[in-house]
Structure 1
Amino acid sequence: MFKPNFSLTLRNAALVLALSACGLASAQTLHVELNTASLLNTGFIDLQFNAGNSPVVFASAAISHLNGFGDLSGVELQGDVQKQGGGFVFGNTTSYNDLFQAISFGGKVSFDVTFGGLPDPAASGIESKFAVSLYGADRTTALGNYNQLDGSLMSFSWVPTAGAGVVTSDITDSTIASISAVPEPSSWAMLGAGLVLVGVARRRKLAA
């Protein structure tokens, strides 16, 4: 597995407790999909969430709606990663935060990721990076057209700021990796209302 090559500082656990007392920055949920149809047999998916600068501004990445991950009883977690319900929550309070899981290739692997954390009080653009990689059965051979620095097929840079925060993405291999936005509840409500109005209009037209 690739490991970050930048220096990191440890974050005091008390900072995590501060989440309950401070306003959180949050970003729209994003849907990540990996098409492994071009890959053979089995391998591993590797997810990392690490701070990229010092000092570290606390941030988190929650993954949910996991599909294609197989049996999670053998998942390997390192650093600030915890299982939560059917998904996992990454923090950036340690120098290396990683999820490593065996998967079967040939289909689609997907999950949703939502970023959060404490707003950067200095507004200095201190980011954390969420990276997605695939490895072969030997656990070390990076697959696809990966980033030569960290082995990732795609990555997200997340900066918690007051309000929505700022997230940017980079896809190294678009033949395997893709990203799409997950509509927020308000968007689903608007869509539902629109469909109802369309249905009402159609019934009135048929009755006329």
Structure 2
Amino acid sequence: MTSKTSVSALRHTLLALAMAGASAMAGAATSYHAVIDTTGLAGGGWLDIQFNPGSLPAVGATATLTHFSGAFGSDFELIGGSGNLASGFTLNNAQQFNDLFHALNLGGKISFDVSFDGAFASTPGPVGTTFSVGLLAADQSSYLGRPGCNAALGDNCSLFQIELTPPGGLTLTLPSGSIASVTAAVPEPGSYALLLAGLGLVGVAARRSPKSD
């Protein structure tokens, strides 16, 4: 006969399993998949990805860029980060200006994933960080992909922005007319399975536990 102590231990173990699944799903909410459709454009261009705090010091945050797809060139400039196209890039907000400036060939779709991590996820603070993506022509100064937007007049011509507001706030801004599309990453099937399995076993354990006298 199962003792109350062993049943209680089993419940705690199964609850931990369920919480692990929930945590994995929550973590996926900090990831996004971006697609930039340049099929209406031609020639060379530059992808400009910035990750800049409002001021320093800011609550620590990192942006990890992976799964690049499309006609990227070999030239790039990286400030405030590390990595490469094949393995991915990481930008941090430890300095005022942090930037990945990467060559590409226009005329098709390019895509990448971005995920956010760091102390900002759980630590309150008055200073946020902005993740922004812009597309420039071969001259490295003319912005593309936002019809009617004029950077020379002071317009913000980024294709999209994600504001990181500690603790854990993420706000996506996708301007009308942008050639970009951005979606929140879907949790891996294993995360759903882990959560559902844990919750189901918790229910089974509750039904089978001996009643107190």
Same fold (TM over 0.5): yes
Tell me what 2:101 maps to. Answer: 100
Tell me what 1:176 maps to. Answer: 179
Matched ranges for 1:143-182 at <5 A: 143-145=144-146, 146=149, 148-161=154-167, 165-182=168-185
Instruction: Report the alpha carbon displacement of residue 122 of structure 1 after superposing the two structures with TM.
Output: 6.4
Instruction: Report the alpha carbon displacement of residue 30 of structure 1 after superposing the two structures with TM.
Output: 0.5
Q: Distance in 2 between matches of 1:44 and 1:159?
A: 28
Show CA shifts across 1:121-173 (max 9, x none). 76245310011000111111111224744431111101242xxx211111125
Instruction: Report the alpha carbon displacement of residue 175 of structure 1 after superposing the two structures with TM.
Output: 4.4
Are 1:50 and 2:32 counterparts?
Answer: no
Instruction: Report the alpha carbon displacement of residue 57 of structure 1 after superposing the two structures with TM.
Output: 0.9
| Percent of residue pairs identical | 33
Shift in CA distance, 41/53, structure 1 to aligned 2, threshold 3 Å:
same
Q: Distance in 1 between matches of 2:122 and 2:192?
A: 34
The alignment covers a number of residue pairs equal to 162
Instruction: Report the alpha carbon displacement of residue 69 of structure 1 after superposing the two structures with TM.
Output: 4.8
Over alpha carbons, which structure has the higher Rg?
Answer: 2
Instruction: Report the alpha carbon displacement of residue 94 of structure 1 after superposing the two structures with TM.
Output: 1.1
Q: Which amino acid aligns with 1:44?
A: W
Higher helix share: 2
Report the TM-score when normalising by structure 1.
0.69
Q: Distance in 1 between matches of 2:91 and 2:103?
A: 19
Q: Distance in 2 between matches of 1:187 and 1:34?
A: 29
Report if the CA contact (8 A) 1:68-1:108 is conserved: yes
Instruction: Report the alpha carbon displacement of residue 106 of structure 1 after superposing the two structures with TM.
Output: 1.0
Instruction: Report the alpha carbon displacement of residue 40 of structure 1 after superposing the two structures with TM.
Output: 1.7
Shift in CA distance, 119/47, structure 1 to aligned 2, threshold 3 Å:
closer
Shift in CA distance, 180/174, structure 1 to aligned 2, threshold 3 Å:
farther
Show CA shifts across 1:90-111 (max 9, x none). 0011111111111111111110
